[in-house]
Amino acid sequence: MTDMLEMPRVHECTVTDCGYNHDGCHAFAITIGQQNASCATFIDTSAKGGLDRVIAQVGACKRSDCQHNAELECHAPSIRVGPGQDIADCQTYQPS
């Protein structure tokens, strides 16, 4: 199991339509979904939310076929989120 202090950070998010993204992702933690490695935490809103002093981390990853995934936890040093097949996808996803 990954120690909370070792959870990968969201190094970059270029999805400007997400309510958590204002000068970086400010959700406490995000979930990467099964389809297209989408950011399941994405919320399409002009309202800005999250925690001002937080840089998001990866709380869960449902892509068990990713080379960075072990026991449904991300073990990449950090990840990038940006437009892909969906509005917000994990750009660090690599099929195993």
- Which of 68-72's residues contact partners 24+ apart within 8 Å by CB, and which partners? 68/8, 68/92, 68/93, 68/94, 69/96, 71/1
Exposure of 37 in the CB half-sphere (CA atoms within 13 A): 23
Tokens of 84: 């892909």
Q: What is the pLDDT of residues 26-51, one digit of tens each?
A: 999 999 999 899 999 999 999 999 99
Around Cβ 89, how many Cβ atoms within 10 Å? 22
Q: What is the pLDDT of residues 45-86, one digit of tens each?
A: 999 999 988 889 999 999 999 999 998 899 999 999 999 999
